[in-house]
Structure 1
Amino acid sequence: MRTSLPMLTRTSTAWAEYTPVTHDYARVKGRTENELLALDRPVFVVRPGFIQPCHCITSRTRIYRYLCSWSAWLFPVLERLAPKYVTTTERLGRAMVALAKHGDEQRLLRSDGINRVAG
């Protein structure tokens, strides 16, 4: 993965948790993250937990639309009970832009780090 842009900042996004069924995916993802982190340029791995869609973002997949509409009430509860595991699409986008512009001392950010960087 060589590029002619030496100041390029790379971000990688992955799920925060895995089940035994996704063991192969987790193994490949882990190897990919390690290779990205070994590059000689700023690399940030972003692992959001529960993501609340904002600004009328809807999925084209029927089951996801149903789950989002059903769980809309759950976000405020989760944000109060477990704030380090939830974020929004807006915060995720702002955090990725901030990481590309200014970087951060942490190279692996979960939802709480995403929310901190997003401001």
Structure 2
Amino acid sequence: MMGEQYSVDLDALEKAASGVNGTLDEISVQKVSDIPHDTSAMGHGELASTLSDFLSRWQRGVDNLSKDGQEIATRLTANVNAYRAVEEHTHQHFHGMLHGTGTDPGVR
């Protein structure tokens, strides 16, 4: 039985990394803490305090998701670079073998 073949869509990986980075850029433009939540905006001190606590927790969550998103984008990009490096090395190796400019691992 022949082994199953697989392929990696490097353009899709690059687009995914770019999309994650674009989303992170958008998130960095406006912070959750920019939402008005002082007593004058709320009209009620206790409500303002509760909303402030909520927004603080929400911002921590967004910050954590942003860090995770950055890690995802970094790893996607690293994988694209690794696949391309292997493809280039393999191409050069076989090109050298076919044109007599490389070493043939089968010849001793």
TM-score (normalizing by structure 2): 0.27
Which structure: larger Rg?
2
Higher strand share: 1
